[in-house]
Amino acid sequence: MKWLELVSVAGATLVSAVTVVVLYSLGVRLTAIAGDTKNSPASWTRPMAYTCFAVCGAAILFGLYLIIPYFHK
């Protein structure tokens, strides 16, 4: 068995999973900050939240592209 390849795939999986979770949670947090009515939030919070969600979705779609062999033909 090729252990170095196994470790490489496990590392890439861990990094990508952590990245998606952090981007999603950051998007949720920025959405909560933008929805706060007590303080006047900065005007950049809502667009940054949507950007985090878009990058998270793009990462998920890219992962599906890599997994599903139909797209590679």
Share of the chain above pLDDT 70, in %: 93
- Single-letter amino acid code for the residue at 24: Y
Q: What is the pTM of this model?
A: 0.82
The per-residue pLDDT for 40 is: 65
Is the pLDDT confidence value at 43 over 90? no
SS3 17: helix
* Nearest by Cα to 67 from 14, 30, 38, 59: 59
Domain borders along the chain are 21-72
Please report the DSSP string for 33-66 in residue order.
HHT-SSS---TTHHHHHHHHHHHHHHHHHHHHHH
The per-residue pLDDT for 36 is: 81
Q: Which two tokens stand for residue 24?
A: 């999603």
